[in-house]
Amino acid sequence: MLRSLSSLWNCQPVEGGRPPRGSNLALFLACSLVGLVAIAGCRIPSETAQAQQAQPGQAGGPGGGRPGGGPGGPGQGGPASVETAIARSGALQEAPTYTGTTQPVRQASLRSQAEGRLLELGVDVGDSVREGEVVGRLDSRLLSAAVSQNRAELAALESQVAQAQAEVSDARAQAAQSEVELQQARMDSDRLQKLAAEGAVSQQQADQAKTAALSAEQVFRSAQERIRTREQAVVAAQRRVQAQQATVAETRERQTFSLLTAPLTGIVLERLTEPGNLVQPGNEVLRVGDFSALKVAVQVSELDLGQLRVGQAVEVRLDAFPDEPFAGRVSRISPAADPASRLVPVEVVIPNSGSRRLGSGLLARVQFQAGQAGRVVIPEEALEAGGEGNDSVLFVVEGDGAEARAVARPVQVGDRANGRIEILSGLQPGESFVLRSSRPLEDGQPVRLSILSER
């Protein structure tokens, strides 16, 4: 055939110049057809050989925790390709999630304790304040006038006390004089009574002396009563002074109310009045929140109440920061459920002392840990069939790089749910286990970690 092709390719034109037009066209078509057939015949054996060489390498099967998809089959040597995962503690079932809104852990209102026109208010919404810091001032002229008036009244009352005490002194002096006169009158009466008995003086003189003694005694008693009256007046005046002193102290304290101070350390949430407005006692001026921590109030179903306790750790996610979970704890569980909805108010506290300061009013999703969160949970497909009761086998990867080996390890399993299973014993958090393999594994078999392996 090659010879005929060669003769065709080497055909020469007829003597005497150009061949006839019809014969030249037929010859060209015949040469082209024969060339194509020759080229196709040469390529077919080559492709057949390549296909025959590729067939032995197609052994292997789909992968799982036991046999797996990938290059190589049971009959091939070398490490088996495996996909590994890291054992972690967790909950078998998804924990319930409840929504709430972030709020400052404490809130307080700054209210005026006195009446007056607001002169200054030096903070605005978002400003930080410290407890006791002066943030505003009221017009204190009326309070100052009241303090002055009360002090003047106090001085007048104190003068009344001094006057009453002077009257007591006078009464005591008069009483002392009356006592001396009484003693003299009694002595005269006694002497004249003796003389009258002896006949030295008349009985009338003796009787007059006795009457004078009785009069002196009456004067002395009146003087003593006057002393008691004056002393009572002093006590009453002193009590009025004490009352007025309390009034002065109260007025002075009210004068200090003209200085508005922050009720707690935090951030101003709301400014409710402006300078120039008249403020009455009890009017709210500012609202301050403590953002050292945030609280989230959620309504929990009574069915989940048995899983909650005060101090329990929870995970909180905010829609404002979807990729950043926040750790919190249960701070309060209401003792009473809503009789209509059967929901129980539960309060969760989130620390807020990090570099990112969270605000209030954010939508929060609170997830309470359910079940035995301390147990290792793995995909059920990683287990090898075998064992009795709750016993099974999985392969743990030991060693690194070329020294990696798959070691069969018996484990005790617990509950199963949603394709996941609890490991009660035999596997510790942080250990690497085989999730899928390219072929069935044996204890101690060398393995090579795939790019999908968790490290």
> Across all residues in the chain, what is the average pLDDT?
80
- Sheet-wide strand order for 116-121: 259-261, 134-138, 116-121, 278-279
Q: What is the pLDDT of residue 216?
A: 85
Residue 306 pLDDT exceeds 90: no
Report the distance separating Cα 61 and Cα 81, nearest Å: 12
Residue 424 pLDDT exceeds 50: yes
Q: What is the pLDDT of residue 57?
A: 37
Q: What is the mean pLDDT of residues 328-339?
A: 94
pLDDT exceeding 90 applies to what percent of the chain? 38
Residue 155 pLDDT exceeds 80: yes
Phi, psi (degrees; rounded to nearest 5) at 332: -155, 135
Q: What is the pLDDT of residue 66?
A: 47
Give the residue extent of every domain in the chain. 80-92+374-449, 142-256, 289-368
Q: What is the pLDDT of residue 356?
A: 62
Report the distance separating Cα 254 and Cα 40, nearest Å: 112
Residue 123 pLDDT exceeds 90: yes
Q: Label residue 354 by pLDDT band (50, 70, 90).
A: low
Q: What is the pLDDT of residue 334?
A: 94
Among 50-59, 332-341, 371-380, name the most confident range.
Answer: 332-341
Strands 445-449, 80-86: pairing kind: parallel
Q: Label residue 55 by pLDDT band (50, 70, 90).
A: very low
pLDDT exceeding 70 applies to what percent of the chain? 79
CATH class (in words) of the domain with range 80-92+374-449:
mainly beta
Q: What is the mean pLDDT of residues 178-198?
A: 86
Q: What is the pLDDT of residue 346?
A: 96
Report the distance separating Cα 341 and Cα 319, nearest Å: 26
Q: Label residue 417 by pLDDT band (50, 70, 90).
A: confident
Higher per-residue pLDDT: 388 or 139: 139
Q: How far is CA 163 from CA 11, 79, 223, 231, in A?
A: 161, 115, 18, 11
Residue 252 CB-half CA count within 13 A: 9
Report the distance separating Cα 124 and Cα 425, nearest Å: 59
Q: What is the mean pLDDT of residues 372-380?
A: 78
The answer to pTM > 0.85 is no
Q: Label residue 390 by pLDDT band (50, 70, 90).
A: low
Domain topology for 289-368: Elongation Factor Tu (Ef-tu); domain 3 (2.40.30)
Residue 158 pLDDT exceeds 70: yes
Q: What is the mean pLDDT of residues 40-64?
A: 38
Across 20-34, 75-89, 168-182, 280-294, least confident range: 20-34
Q: What is the mean pLDDT of residues 312-316?
A: 91
Higher per-residue pLDDT: 142 or 409: 409
Q: What is the mean pLDDT of residues 302-330?
A: 90
